[in-house]
A = this chain, B = another copy of it.
Amino acid sequence: MPKMSVKAGLPPGSLVYIGEQKLEEVRIRLMSYSETDWSEKELQLSKASLAGLDKSSVHWIRVEGIHDADTIGQLGRSLGIHPLVLEDILNTGQRPKIENYLDYVYMAVKTVVYDCQAGKFELEQESFILGENYVISFSEDSTAIYDPVLERIKAKAGLIRTTDADYLLYCLLDVIVDNYFVALEELGEEIDAIQDELVTNPVPATMQFVHELKTQILYLHRSIWPMREIAGLLTRRETLLVREGTELYIRDLYDHIIQVMDITETLRDILTGMLDMYLSSVSNRMNEVMKVLTIIATVFIPLTFIVGVYGMNIAMPERQWGWWYPVLWLIMLAIAGAMVVFFKRKKWW
């Protein structure tokens, strides 16, 4: 949970980065493309301006690294972004949302990034600003997940070169949602892997792992849930920045978001079922242990009583009889056998 409290008492619009630094330096790149051409270059902070952008092309300003509040603040002012929006962009604890401004639409979403070292997924914040002919993206880290889109632009694949900035935004949101499928399938495989372990060898560590998976799915669900609203709002075209032709694609995106939510719910149900199975499995094993042990004890208790009787230092008539010892063994075996049969018949064993 990022520390939101550092901003307590500051005036609204104060730019404070809330989150971990993931890159050494902020890097700003400008990708411009039209049907006929494309170009990509580093953008100098001092030269960043919307006024200088060619009207006939689509421009994608990619900001990687948002830990430097000063740089982002300066960039935001150059690009005419409202201070409250900049404040949200710098707050990685921001929940996904969409907001309509006069000239642009601002939206924050969460992207799923796989951390190879820790072997678990991390959620990172992506902020987008969609304008007339430009998209500005703000990422916590480097944006390898956008590579397929970059390649499509360069290779002129699909419709991307012949459409407007709204279609570019759709493509970026689409790869983000696609990454949720990847994450959920990884989780699904981990779940499959421990399912067998759960029944054969139910140890507390397994349960703790199931709990952790459940928490992870919970976070994924919390991240994807508000995106439904974002896509819904874009579909209903409450902003003129989304063109009619793109609407169909965003409806498709909406559909994918619903599917992600369906899968998270299914996985959550499966994990809940696994916790039930674990508890029942543990108590079953414990019962098995206790039952067998108690039965062994119970079989020997009457026998121990009998040998105790003949250990008494009292005159007993039967002691005189020479065959008493082997007969006693037979009696004791008979008692033990009878008890075993009794337990077996009652299906207690």
Specify how many copies of this chain sit in the oligomer: 5
Closest Cβ of chain B to A181, distance in Å, is: 4
The verdict on A56 contacting chain B, using a C-beta distance below 8 Å, is no
In chain A, positions 200-248 with a C-beta closer than 8 Å to chain B are: 201, 204, 207-208, 211, 214-215, 218, 222, 248
CB distance from A108 to the nearest CB of B (A): 10
Known pairs A178-B7, A294-B290; A188 contacts B311 (CB<8 A): no
Given contacts A293-B298, A316-B325, contact A248 B84 (CB under 8 A): yes
Total contacting residues, chain A, CB less than 8 A: 105
- Scoring A214, A273, A290 by chain B CB atoms within 10 A of each residue's CB, the highest score goes to A290
The stretch that binds B, out of A19-27, A69-77, A131-139, A255-263, is A255-263
Q: Verify B255–A97 contact, CB threshold 8 A.
A: yes
CB–CB A262/B348 < 8 A: no
- Are B300 and A175 in contact (CB-based, < 8 A)? no
Q: In the complex, what residues of B have CB within 8 A of residue A178's CB?
A: 5, 7-9
B95, B201, B308: the one contacting A304 at CB < 8 Å is B308
Q: Which of B11, B270, B281 contacts A157 (CB 8 A)?
A: B11
Query: Which of these, B84, B249, B313, contacts A319 with CB under 8 Å?
Result: B313
Give the Cβ gap from A6 to chain B, nearest Cβ, in Å: 9
Known: A12-B252, A282-B283, A301-B304. 16 other contacts (CB 8 A): A4-B181, A7-B178, A8-B148, A12-B170, A12-B174, A82-B248, A204-B284, A208-B277, A218-B269, A222-B266, A289-B348, A296-B298, A308-B308, A310-B313, A311-B311, A312-B328
A-B contact pairs, 18 of them (CB 8 A): A8-B179, A12-B158, A12-B170, A13-B158, A82-B248, A95-B259, A207-B280, A282-B287, A286-B287, A289-B291, A289-B294, A296-B301, A307-B312, A310-B313, A310-B314, A312-B328, A313-B313, A313-B319
